[in-house]
Amino acid sequence: MVESIALHTRLKPGTEEAYADAHAHIPAELVTALKEAGVRNWRIWRSGLDLFHVVDVDNYQKMRHALADHPANVPWQASMAELLEVQDDYSGEDAGIQKVWELP
């Protein structure tokens, strides 16, 4: 069963263009690592400085653990850390944003 996980991150002011540009050029090895870790899809929306992610993944905690020290993810996370005030926690212990409601 695929999980849909919502996440929230926040950009540092003035980094909107750099963030969009980085995501226009995702490294192929990162895409491969995400897919190998069970990510089916990852979508990001931006409202001002707030970023909202929806990740469709086989097992969220397993994916986080698999990517925490992955050689394709570590440099990507370092570059994102320069752009984000609030960023994802790759400990694998989080569960994303709590779902309140879903259309039955």
Max intra-chain CA distance, the chain = 40
Set 8, 23, 25, 65: catalytic member: 23
DSSP state of 80: H
Which residues in 45-63 are b (16+ Cβ under 10 Å) and which e? eeeebebebebebeebeeb
Distance, CA of 87 to CA of 85 (rounded, Å): 6
Continuous segment of H or E residues that includes residue 60:
helix 60-68
Say whether 53 is catalytic: no
* Residue showing tokens 């990517």: 67
Active site residues: 23
